[in-house]
């Protein structure tokens, strides 16, 4: 039995490597607080969500498949939580030792298998009952296939037969076998004898050691089948628990954002060739979680633009906006909700961040060297239709040199059909793109009074970041 709630053609593979630069994505986009909110203290949910978030999907059909399942999940959160709880209870109640730790004899493995199957039999019955109750309300391909499989495989007759067989096997104080005489009066055709079966009429005088060998020979095939059945059920419940953990995490995130009065939506994903994206009420989810309140959202539509350059006043919300774009893109390609009223984006063949880093006093080379080395690593993994987010990159050198470096890199990326969002104070760099019709200029809004609204609006770059506003605010306050 296969759940296939994350991928339509395969199970979750936790040994699969994460995307390149996932450490930078985690730190730069502050994904840690989002993942912890999804986990709500559950270690398994945290591990699964950490794994999946940094494995963004690049197949639009795979994203939509997961979105449909998430839509069902959010419409029926209690049913999904019940499924997850059944799987967790199964793992917590399964306290018998593994076969390698059990008695060495075949008889010991036989008894242990029966005990484990008795536990699973009850849990399978709960899954079947929940499937019967839920299947009519679920519409996604993933959940309907799962429920249909459970209803088909776990029929009433099958569950009754399993219960009957396990009851008979479990009631035996001793294991009885039957055998026939061979040509030379040796024992042949050893078979397990259930309590309601007839005992053989003939007996064979044997030593205790010989009896043990004959008994093990009789139950070996049955034990192999039982062990195999337990292995299949172990794998099924373990995989179902992992896959449901992601969706329970999405429920937790949705409920938390909703409690703060924050909007969230299932984004619209488009083919990677598209160069149009739009958003309404887009906000930084990690900042909102930290403040436990509503933060400023942004509305925008960009058409046929591969480069977006964001300038404007210091402490005006530029970096916050850039994080919100990166978070939304990453979450959208994981099939998750995004922090916005509406969000539409093309699928990208890789998501990369190049953010200004804090001063590292153990740095063996200069800060510019470190930025260039990090950029070189990103370039080795870039491909057309990727997305790169720059935040104050190459501002560690002077205005002229920094503008030449970031300008040259941005132009090359644009020519290679790589989408770029760049927050910068390098005025020469920004102005050098003013005649490029494929570039969208955004600016942090500043009122005439100097107050920041923390909204990002369309606007061409200005030769000032209004640092004097901050100076007056700090040094003029009593």
Q: How confident is the model at residue 7 (pLDDT cuts 50, 70, 90)?
A: very high
Range name among 174-188, 194-208, 285-299, 452-466 with the lowest pLDDT average: 194-208
The verdict on 75 and 152 lying in the same domain is yes
pLDDT in tens, 367-421: 899 999 999 999 999 999 999 999 999 988 899 999 999 999 999 999 999 999 9
pLDDT at 222: 66
pLDDT at 477 over 80: no
Range name among 113-122, 273-282, 381-390, 414-423 with the lowest pLDDT average: 113-122
pLDDT at 101: 46
Residue 397 counted as domain residue: yes
pLDDT in tens, 226-241: 777 777 788 888 999 9
Q: How confident is the model at residue 91 (pLDDT cuts 50, 70, 90)?
A: confident
Q: Which residue has the higher pLDDT, 130 or 446?
A: 130
Angle at 54 between CA 369 and CA 441, to 5 degrees: 60
Percentage above 90 pLDDT, the chain: 56
Residue 43 counted as domain residue: no
pLDDT at 442 over 60: yes
Q: What is the CATH number of the domain that holds 427?
A: 3.40.50.300
The verdict on 309 and 227 lying in the same domain is no
Residue 108 counted as domain residue: yes
pLDDT at 216 over 80: no
pLDDT at 436 over 80: yes
Range name among 76-85, 176-185, 455-464 with the lowest pLDDT average: 176-185
The verdict on 241 and 310 lying in the same domain is no
Please, what is the average pLDDT of the chain? 84
pLDDT at 425 over 60: yes
Angle at 409 between CA 404 and CA 410, to 5 degrees: 100
The verdict on 147 and 286 lying in the same domain is no
Range name among 312-316, 361-365, 385-389 with the lowest pLDDT average: 361-365
The verdict on 360 and 252 lying in the same domain is no
pLDDT in tens, 126-182: 888 898 888 889 999 999 999 988 888 776 666 666 666 666 655 555 555 666 656
pLDDT at 158: 63
The verdict on 278 and 394 lying in the same domain is yes
| 469: three-class secondary structure by DSSP | helix
If one counts the domains in the chain, the total is 2
d(CA 149, CA 208): 47
The verdict on 322 and 459 lying in the same domain is yes
The verdict on 279 and 334 lying in the same domain is yes
Structural domain of 376: 268-476
Q: How confident is the model at residue 306 (pLDDT cuts 50, 70, 90)?
A: very high
The last residue of one of the domains, among 241, 259, 277, is 259
Residue 23 counted as domain residue: no
The verdict on 160 and 104 lying in the same domain is yes
The last residue of one of the domains, among 259, 289, 309, is 259
The verdict on 200 and 145 lying in the same domain is yes
The verdict on 417 and 332 lying in the same domain is yes
Q: How confident is the model at residue 3 (pLDDT cuts 50, 70, 90)?
A: confident
pLDDT at 465: 53
The verdict on 415 and 472 lying in the same domain is yes
């Amino acid at each position: 039995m296969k759940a296939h709630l994350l991928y339509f053609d395969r199970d979750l593979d936790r040994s699969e490597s994460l995307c390149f630069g996932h450490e930078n994505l985690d730190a730069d986009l502050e994904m840690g607080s989002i993942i912890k909110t999804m986990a709500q203290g559950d270690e398994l949910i945290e591990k699964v969500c950490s794994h999946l978030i940094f494995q963004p999907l690049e197949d639009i059909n795979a994203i939509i498949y997961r979105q449909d399942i998430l839509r069902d999940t959010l419409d029926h959160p209690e049913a999904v939580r019940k499924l997850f709880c059944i799987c967790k209870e199964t793992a917590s109640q399964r306290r018998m030792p593994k076969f390698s730790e059990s008695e060495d004899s075949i008889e010991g493995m036989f008894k242990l298998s029966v005990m484990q199957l008795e536990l699973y039999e009850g849990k399978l019955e709960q899954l079947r009952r929940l499937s019967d109750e839920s299947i009519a309300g679920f519409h996604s391909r993933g959940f309907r296939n799962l429920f249909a499989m459970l209803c088909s495989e776990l029929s009433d007759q099958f569950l009754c037969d399993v219960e009957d067989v396990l009851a008979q096997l479990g009631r035996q104080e001793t294991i009885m076998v039957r055998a026939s005489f061979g040509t030379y009066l040796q024992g042949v055709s050893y078979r397990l004898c259930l309590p309601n079966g007839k005992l053989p009429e003939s007996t064979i005088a044997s030593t205790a050691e010989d009896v043990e060998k004959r008994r093990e020979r009789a139950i070996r095939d049955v034990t192999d089948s039982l062990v195999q059945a337990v292995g299949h059920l172990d794998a099924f419940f373990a995989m179902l628990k992992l896959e449901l953990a992601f969706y329970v995490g999405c429920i937790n995130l949705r409920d938390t954002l909703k409690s703060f009065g924050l909007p969230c939506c299932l984004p619209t994903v488009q083919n990677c060739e598209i160069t149009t994206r739009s958003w309404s009420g887009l906000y930084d989810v990690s900042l909102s979680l930290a403040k436990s309140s509503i933060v400023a959202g942004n509305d925008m539509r960009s058409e046929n633009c591969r480069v977006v350059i964001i300038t404007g006043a210091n402490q005006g919300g530029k970096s916050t906006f850039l994080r919100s774009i990166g978070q939304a893109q990453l979450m959208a390609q994981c099939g998750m909700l995004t922090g916005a009223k509406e969000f539409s984006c093309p699928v990208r063949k890789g998501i990369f961040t190049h953010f200004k880093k804090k001063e590292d006093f153990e740095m063996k080379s200069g800060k510019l060297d470190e930025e260039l080395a990090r950029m070189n690593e990103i370039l080795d993994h870039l491909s057309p239709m990727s997305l790169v987010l720059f935040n104050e990159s190459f501002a560690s050198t002077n205005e002229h040199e920094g503008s030449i470096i970031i300008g040259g890199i941005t132009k090359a990326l644009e020519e290679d059909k790589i989408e770029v969002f760049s927050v910068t104070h390098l005025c020469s760099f920004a102005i050098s793109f003013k005649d490029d019709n494929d570039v969208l200029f955004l600016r942090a809004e500043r009122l005439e009074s100097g107050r920041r609204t923390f909204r990002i609006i369309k606007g061409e770059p200005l030769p000032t970041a209004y640092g004097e506003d901050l100076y007056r605010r700090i040094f003029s306050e009593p």
